[in-house]
Amino acid sequence: MSGDMHPALHHVQQPPQEAPPAVAPMRFLGAVRMMGGIMHVYDMGDGLALLRPVSPLGLEARREWVVPLKGVLRALQQSA
pLDDT digits (tens, 9 = 90+) for 11-47: 556 666 666 665 668 899 999 988 788 999 999 989 9
Q: Is 78 domain-assigned?
A: no
Q: Is 39 domain-assigned?
A: yes
Q: Is 80 domain-assigned?
A: no
Q: Is 20 domain-assigned?
A: no
Residue 64, C-beta contacts closer than 8 angstroms, at least 6 positions apart: 50, 51, 52
Q: Which domain, by its residues, includes 49? A: 26-70
Count how many Cα atoms sit within 13 Å of the Cα of residue 19 in the half-sphere of its side chain: 3
Q: Is 41 domain-assigned?
A: yes
- When divided into structural domains, the chain yields a total of 1
DSSP line for 28-71: EEEEEEETTEEEEEEE-SSSEEEEEEE-TTSPBPS--EEEEHHH
Q: Is 33 domain-assigned?
A: yes
The model's pLDDT over 48-67, given as tens digits with 9 standing for 90+, comes to 999 999 998 888 888 899 99
Q: Is 36 domain-assigned?
A: yes
